[in-house]
Amino acid sequence: PSPRVCVLGSANMDLVVFADRAPARGETVAGRSLLTVPGGKGANQAIAVARAGGDVRMVGAVGTDVWGDQVLAVLQAAGVDVSAVRRVDGPTGTAHVLVDASGDNSIVVVPGANGAVHDPVPGLDAALDGAGILLLQLELPLDAVLAGARAARQRGVRVVLTPAPARALPAELLELVDLLVPNESEAAVLTGCGDPEAAAAALLDAVPEVVVTMGARGAVWRRRGADPLHVPAPQVTAVDTTAAGDTFVGALAVALGENRPPRAALTWAVAAAALSVQKRGASTSMPSRAEIVAFVRDAFGHEVC
Ligand code: ATP
């Protein structure tokens, strides 16, 4: 079996309201429908790993409310080990999303229980035992992210960071990152450079490996001392790109845990993400291992496993 993937990150309930338009200040508008769906980058990445066939444990926190029950139930049903997800007094993290008729959205995120995850992170050390990879994002307090990276480095666990939401990163954190996976806009925030290729090259000053995801253009992988590796995304009809990036990282972690060579690992991640954009929702759109295997064969013409 491949080594376990550990995810230290956020778990939210996303409350998605569909309305013709967003209300102006002080105004009330009628909504069309409400969708409640678990989200948060940590939970999304954990579910993506489990769906892609990885052994995954999540570390984080939900509240004592009904959203916490539901988020835990969805993680468990996907096959994520939630023994290190604590319940803390108060509300679960929530994302309040308003989607208008043109598909544009505005979002308010309330961290809730995610904001209670601090160094020392309960359950982190045990969760890293036997892990090969730690997935981190930036939706938890930075001291918790740093604690995760430090504990992983001490144990020789590979640290993979999705730098979202985008922000400048302390050198202390970057020094502990083995692989950084920004999208184009995050890469631009980190480097001040709008061209993803150039941004990836610049980021190699800070970290040994970088994968920049480029939406419908696929992804590029840079390693110090190696030529850039590009994998274009297969042409698909995208209906909802929510959590494409999280699906990508989850699948990539599974491939890396199975020691696939870089091109095969990147192809696997690009295939998983292309499958996810063809379905609505976040956790509901993540492909299973069997779906990824079949799609890699059909879209890229090679066999994986
Ligand atoms: P999101 O924020 O929507 O989760 P992201 O902005 O973090 O995604 P993107 O670079 O947009 O990340 O997408 C991640 C990966 O998903 C891309 O590298 C690509 O492989 C795949 N992808 C995204 N959009 C498309 C698309 N329209 N067609 C095919 N693949 C796509």
pLDDT by 10s per residue, the chain, length 305? 567 999 999 999 999 899 999 999 999 999 999 999 999 999 999 999 999 999 999 999 999 999 999 999 999 999 999 999 999 999 999 999 998 998 888 889 999 999 999 999 999 999 999 999 999 999 999 999 999 999 999 999 999 999 999 999 999 999 999 999 999 999 999 999 999 999 999 999 999 999 999 999 999 999 999 999 999 999 999 888 888 999 999 999 999 999 999 999 999 999 999 999 998 777 778 999 999 999 999 988 876 55
Instruction: Tell me how many domains the chain contains.
Output: 1
State the pTM of this model: 0.95
Q: What is the pLDDT of residue 242?
A: 83
Cβ-Cβ contacts under 8 Å for 266 (sequence gap 6 or more): 211, 219, 221, 229, 231, 252
- Active-site position among 125, 227, 246, 298: 246
**Do the domain assignments include residue 198?**
yes
**Do the domain assignments include residue 268?**
yes
**Do the domain assignments include residue 151?**
yes
Full domain range(s) for residue 200: 4-18+34-300
**Do the domain assignments include residue 9?**
yes
Task: Give me the CATH number covering residue 233.
Answer: 3.40.1190.20
Nearest Cα neighbor of 143 from 115, 179, 109 is 115
**Do the domain assignments include residue 23?**
no
Q: Name the amino acid, one letter, at 182.
A: P
Q: What angle do CA 109, 52, 165 make, to 5 degrees?
A: 25
**Do the domain assignments include residue 263?**
yes
**Do the domain assignments include residue 29?**
no
Q: Among 162, 180, 183, 231, which residue has the most ligand 1 atoms within 8 Å of its CB, making it the best to mutate?
A: 183
**Do the domain assignments include residue 188?**
yes
Q: Among 276, 277, 278, 295, which residue has the most ligand 1 atoms within 8 Å of its CB, making it the best to mutate?
A: 277
Q: Quick check: bond before 165 cis, omega within 30?
A: yes
